[in-house]
Structure 1
Amino acid sequence: MADGSLASTGSLASAVRRATTAILAPERWWVAVIAIFAASRVVTTSLLLWFASIQGQNPWTGPAPDYFSFAKIWDGHWYYIIALAGYPTELPLTDDGHVGENAWAFMPAYPFLVRFVMTLTTLDFAVAGVMVSVAFSLGAALLFYRVMHLVLPARTALFSVAIFCFAPLSAILQVAYAESMYLFLLTLALYWLMKRQYWMLFPVIAIMSLTRPSGLAFALALGLHVVYRWWIRRSEEFPPRERVAAVSATVFSLIMGFAWLLIAAAVTGSLSAYTDTELAWRASYVGYGELVPFAAWFQGAEFWAQWWRMPQWLLVVMVVAGILAFFVFLLTKPARRLGVDLRLWVASYALYLLAVFFPQSSTFRLLMPLFPLAGALALPQSRVYRGLLLAACIAGQWAWIHVAWWVDGYDWTPP
């Protein structure tokens, strides 16, 4: 009996090993990516359902909402308004005459696509929004493997996908937010950039720039890419046809970076409609003012220094040190393994964040486009390291949902 049990256990272990080897075979990379994605969604869905079960009454739902209702709170409600009613032609004003929070802060590609799915399927916004997000999330995971495999070995590329799928903010990949759609488009754009298929970038940039603010950051990355290719043209040919295509894509991305601002201005009659709307969200922290590039992080240092009761100069020093450390990291050996193009994107997007965004709890979500750095984190081969990293990611999911998504009374930490 004992021998039979041991034989059965050995057979089961052998079968599991064979199945794992088959799934992880390089020619079946898509099967492995789908398996990783599915496992990550089981974990994240379980966490979201648990938090939904203890969710109290809040501005968007009653107590203990179902999954789909819980998945469309916060900015999801703004996308719901846009999907059903579009954008206002007159900007709402506060009692003291400033532009208030309104739908112009959110770009149209995602809510309009969700509305299209709603029309085709007769599903309500919450269900259609989650379906669209999950579909784009899976597409982003599959594309991310292709991007990583251009610079990393197959197994390392797969672990990069695992980090992406289990990341602390990966809950945002299956709620009614535009991040999934944006990350899919960004990954596709990075893939075409790395493959030097510049003309293929045009439709991607057009939609991406109307999904999340990104046109200016991607234009900077493309411009730096053109400069780099020109600099190394003697060792890596940069033929005239590619120069024309790359420069054209750069100019197009720059134009698309201002497109939504101009659309908002045309509809509302106010040239500053979009920037005034964005500034309304930081007014509760630092009051109303003008958009001054690269000033927000230092304004934030003043606010958070008062909040945390620490010297402002110390927080400024910490911010500057963190910024310098980040850019120094991009020069290290692990980061260099990602290649020049991905690092140019990461640096460009980081500079864009420093130029225009105000640091608060939503900043963690805004850091998601830096996801190519998962490739650097995936380099160590230690199973212990990788297991601990994934465990930390799952713990991070719990912490982020608790702090940023789950609503606990008057909540000042939006996702």
Structure 2
Amino acid sequence: MHRFPGVTKVDPVSTSSVPRPEPTAPAGPLRRPRLPRPAAGATREFLPALALFAGLRLAGILTVILTNELRGHPLVRNLAHSWDSRWYLHIATHGYGRLIWIAPTGAVQTDWAFFPLYPALIRALATVLPLGPGQTGLLIAWTAACVAAYGVYRVGHLLYGRGVATALVALWAALPHAVELTLAYTESLFAALAAWSLYCVLRGRWLWAGTLAVLAGLSRPSGFAVAVAVCLAAGHEALRRRGRVPARLWAGALLAPLGWPAYVLWVGGRTGDLLGGYFSVQRAWDSRFDFGAGSVRFLKALLLHGGGVVYPAALLIVAASVLLFVLLCLERAPLALVVFSGVLVLLVLGGSGSFSSKPRFLLPAFPLLVPVARALARTWWLRRSRAVVVYGALALVSLLAGAYVTAVAHSPL
């Protein structure tokens, strides 16, 4: 007789006994299949990617400084005092409600439009370090950029391996608008929080994912994109496991969206309109979701009147992001990555405001680069010389574009 697991052996000529299954332990809750853990050397393997990222962004800073020298401008001032940076530094020094600006349209623009995490970090560190607010802001931005690069690498390494992870970091460092990772802006901080929150989702560390999503929601108006990604990924996981999920999943999902509405309600309380005050503040900055009407007006004006260099380049970057999002969906990337990137792309397409700033809003959407990184990693060993030439050209464009928008152009960053 054949021996079957879990069934008692029975004499085939005996009729006095009936095969009975052996007693088994009660079925427990379904366990989530975990992604493979990163190799023990994943951190050490990141060092070449970090060196590439830091080297390229340092070259970007030096290119900006050289451009300032050639134009007779202060060498480093525009790194810490460009556009929105001045508002963040003023908030860090004096608090909220101390600065307004009357726009040419007559709108009264206030500092309540700027989220609190970055200026709070500047204020906290400036009290313990012998640095001014501008220097502290740059220190935070540069540190956060490296932390973000490591988070981008860990996401890529977890899903696709070392080659794709390194290519992903390299491409992110060479984006035309990557200079904004090294300015006193919130993009590097937001990118760091987003990357590590998404990594925690992929690893099933829901409490960490939710906590980082809260901080992301306090860092930028678009920070709720992380919370949406965490919540939808948690809901998908609960459906997949038919509700048999640990309590920490629900706790992380409930925690994730608390940051953004907390600040929105705080601004509403300060303005006297709890639910609408924050949105009134943003409308004064011409920042609202108008379902693409502003983008259509911009495109029409660009076609009729032209727009120098910055605005056509911004349009090209936005169009490329839409194509990359389609490719990301075709790659069947994890839901959290697709949702996070999709929300940011949707906000850029459907939001009003200066079109020259839209590439900056897309900078944290690193998953958009996954399809290109995978293609680059596949062809690297076969056509190494071509890959080096292509990447060198991307890096050169990134350096020149960063210096131009920071030290030459007068368009809002």
TM-score of the pair, normalised by structure 2: 0.76
Q: Which amino acid aligns with 2:298?
A: G
1:138 Cα deviation after fit: 1.1
Offset from partner CA, 1:143-190 (integer Å, 9 cap, x none) = 211111111121221121111223222221222111111111011111
Q: Tell whether the 8 Å contact from 1:91 to 1:99 is kept in structure 2 after alignment.
A: no
In the alignment, which of 281, 291, 304 is matched to residue 285 of structure 2?
Answer: 281
Give me the whole-angstrom Cα distance separating, in 2, the residues matched to 1:301 and 1:245.
Answer: 46
Give me the whole-angstrom Cα distance separating, in 1, the residues matched to 2:192 and 2:317.
Answer: 30
Offset from partner CA, 1:219-276 (integer Å, 9 cap, x none) = 3323432454355x2xxx465334x544554444444332222111112324444323
Q: Is 2:397 aligned against 1:396?
A: yes
1:281 Cα deviation after fit: 3.2
Offset from partner CA, 1:287-322 (integer Å, 9 cap, x none) = xxx75444433343444444339xxxxxxxx99997
1:347 Cα deviation after fit: 1.8
Q: Tell whether the 8 Å contact from 1:405 to 1:414 is kept in structure 2 after alignment.
A: no
Inter-CA distance 249–148: structure 2 relative to 1 (3 Å threshold) = same
Inter-CA distance 42–270: structure 2 relative to 1 (3 Å threshold) = same
Give me the whole-angstrom Cα distance separating, in 2, the residues matched to 1:192 and 1:179.
Answer: 20
The match for 1:365 is 360
Q: Name the % identity.
A: 24
Q: Tell whether the 8 Å contact from 2:151 to 2:196 is kept in structure 1 after alignment.
A: yes
Inter-CA distance 211–324: structure 2 relative to 1 (3 Å threshold) = closer
Q: Tell whether the 8 Å contact from 1:219 to 1:254 is kept in structure 2 after alignment.
A: yes
Give me the whole-angstrom Cα distance separating, in 1, the residues matched to 2:318 and 2:194.
Answer: 28
Q: Is 2:90 aligned against 1:81?
A: yes
The match for 1:264 is 267
In the alignment, which of 151, 167, 179 is matched to residue 175 of structure 2?
Answer: 167
Q: Which amino acid aligns with 1:340?
A: L
Name stretches of at least 5 consecutive residues in structure 1 with no aligned partner.
Answer: 1-24, 56-62, 284-289, 310-317
Q: Is 2:51 aligned against 1:35?
A: yes
1:92 Cα deviation after fit: 6.1
In the alignment, which of 127, 135, 138 is matched to residue 135 of structure 2?
Answer: 127
Q: How many residues matched? A: 358
Q: Tell whether the 8 Å contact from 2:107 to 2:284 is kept in structure 1 after alignment.
A: yes
* SS in structure 2 at match of 1:101: strand
TM-score of the pair, normalised by structure 1: 0.76
Give me the whole-angstrom Cα distance separating, in 1, the residues matched to 2:52 and 2:118.
Answer: 25
Give me the whole-angstrom Cα distance separating, in 2, the residues matched to 1:74 and 1:48.
Answer: 16
* SS in structure 1 at match of 2:221: coil
The match for 1:58 is none
* SS in structure 1 at match of 2:285: helix
The match for 1:296 is 294
Give me the whole-angstrom Cα distance separating, in 2, the residues matched to 1:122 and 1:326.
Answer: 43
* SS in structure 1 at match of 2:356: coil
Write out aligned runs for 1:4-403 (5 A): 28-55=44-71, 63-68=72-77, 70-88=79-97, 99-230=107-238, 233=240, 237=241, 240-242=244-246, 245-271=248-274, 272-282=276-286, 292-308=290-306, 325=323, 327-332=325-330, 335-336=331-332, 338-358=333-353, 360-379=355-374, 380=376, 381-382=379-380, 383-403=384-404
Q: Tell whether the 8 Å contact from 1:218 to 1:349 is kept in structure 2 after alignment.
A: no
Give me the whole-angstrom Cα distance separating, in 1, the residues matched to 2:354 and 2:99.
Answer: 28
1:210 Cα deviation after fit: 0.9
Q: Tell whether the 8 Å contact from 2:151 to 2:195 is kept in structure 1 after alignment.
A: yes
Name stretches of at least 5 consecutive residues in structure 2 with no aligned partner.
Answer: 1-40, 308-315
1:378 Cα deviation after fit: 1.6
Give me the whole-angstrom Cα distance separating, in 2, the residues matched to 1:114 and 1:90.
Answer: 17
Inter-CA distance 331–185: structure 2 relative to 1 (3 Å threshold) = closer
Inter-CA distance 296–224: structure 2 relative to 1 (3 Å threshold) = farther
Please, what is the CA RMSD of the aligned residues? 3.1
Q: Tell whether the 8 Å contact from 1:215 to 1:258 is kept in structure 2 after alignment.
A: no
Give me the whole-angstrom Cα distance separating, in 2, the residues matched to 1:343 and 1:129.
Answer: 31
Q: Tell whether the 8 Å contact from 1:114 to 1:128 is kept in structure 2 after alignment.
A: yes
Inter-CA distance 298–330: structure 2 relative to 1 (3 Å threshold) = same
Inter-CA distance 167–321: structure 2 relative to 1 (3 Å threshold) = closer
Give me the whole-angstrom Cα distance separating, in 2, the residues matched to 1:131 and 1:264.
Answer: 28
Q: Tell whether the 8 Å contact from 1:167 to 1:397 is kept in structure 2 after alignment.
A: yes
Inter-CA distance 108–320: structure 2 relative to 1 (3 Å threshold) = closer
Offset from partner CA, 1:360-389 (integer Å, 9 cap, x none) = 100011111221222321223232443234
Q: Tell whether the 8 Å contact from 2:289 to 2:347 is kept in structure 1 after alignment.
A: no
Give me the whole-angstrom Cα distance separating, in 2, the residues matched to 1:405 and 1:174.
Answer: 11
* SS in structure 2 at match of 1:331: helix
